[in-house]
Amino acid sequence: METAEANYQGVWGNRIGFGQSPALLVIDFLKAYTIEGAPLYAPGVVDAVARTPRLLQEARAKGIPVIHTRILYLAKDCADGGVWVKKAPVMKAMVEGNVLAEFCDGVEPKDGELVVVKQYASAFFGTSLASYLHARGIDTVVLSGCSTSGCIRASAVDAVQHGFRTIVVRDCVGDRHPDPHEANLFDIDSKYGDVVSLEEAIAALSRRGSSSAPGAD
């Protein structure tokens, strides 16, 4: 049987590249994924969190917008999570006051950075994120966070559908098992965006800055 790479060659996998006005999106780096023994604990996320400060440092140094997302349920019994929390009741830990719903150390939002609160996998579904990015003249979203097979994939699909060039930083996303992690990176890179290394992402961000984003403040 031929490999997936051979099967896809010449059909999928075109490169989209960075545009002129990127933003960095840090998706759901919450302690639920990094506290050993927690139901959502994912070793791959621990590694991704450890690598992401370099990416954040470069974006902030260049004045590139940094946006964070967190899953947070506000309604009684997490009813605002709809059918998703019925399918995945483990997500009910994402409520105010639960340490598992807090941002991971070292990748927390800084003062002035937008925090998007969401109830579903995609950073775009049911939020104002797309409008915010379009209003700032952003043409490229650079994704880091977790999990690769869940919120990263869903956000990557929605990002391209909202008209953004989509870049996923391989070293800065993680999952609980390498198989879904690698399978989803392969699929994203084939169909929805470009999967790049941390070094490639830093090099691209270093060539761009706040002057490239109309309306940046």
pLDDT > 90? residue 11: no
- Our CA angle for 106, 214, 163, nearest 5°, is 80
pTM of the model: 0.92
Where does the pLDDT of residue 212 fall: very low under 50, low under 70, confident under 90, or very high at 90 and above? very low
For 22-75, what is each residue's pLDDT tens digit?
999 999 999 999 999 999 999 999 999 999 999 999 999 999 999 999 999 999
Q: What confidence tens digit (pLDDT) does each residue in 88-143 have?
A: 999 999 999 999 999 999 999 999 999 999 999 999 999 999 999 999 999 999 99
Measured distance CA(5)–CA(20) in Å, rounded: 30
For the chain, give the DSSP string. ---HHHHHTTTS-------SSEEEEEE--BGGGTSTTSTT--HHHHHHHHHHHHHHHHHHHTT--EEEEEE-B-SGGGGGGHHHHHH-GGGGG-BTT-GGGSBPTTSPPPTT-EEEEESSSSSSTTSSHHHHHHHTT--EEEEEEE-IIIIIHHHHHHHHHTT-EEEEEEEEEE-SSHHHHHHHHHHHHHHTSEEE-HHHHHHHHHT--GGGSTT--
**Tens digit of each residue's pLDDT (9 = 90 or more) over 163-208:** 999 999 999 999 999 999 999 999 999 999 999 999 999 999 999 7
- Give the model's pLDDT for residue 213: 45
- Give me the residues paired with residue 67 across strands: 25, 114
Domain ranges within the chain, ordered by starting residue: 18-206
Q: Report the mean per-residue pLDDT for the chain.
A: 94
- Per-residue pLDDT, 216: 37
Considering the domain delimited by 18-206, tell me its CATH architecture: 3-Layer(aba) Sandwich (3.40)
Structure tokens belonging to residue 67: 């946006």
Q: What is the pLDDT of residue 217?
A: 32
For the cut 90, the answer to whether the pLDDT of residue 9 exceeds it is no
- Report the candidate in 142, 150, 140 with the shortest Cα–Cα distance to residue 184: 150
Catalytic residues, by residue number, are 151
Q: What is the pLDDT of residue 209?
A: 64
Q: What pLDDT is stored for residue 214 in this prediction?
A: 41
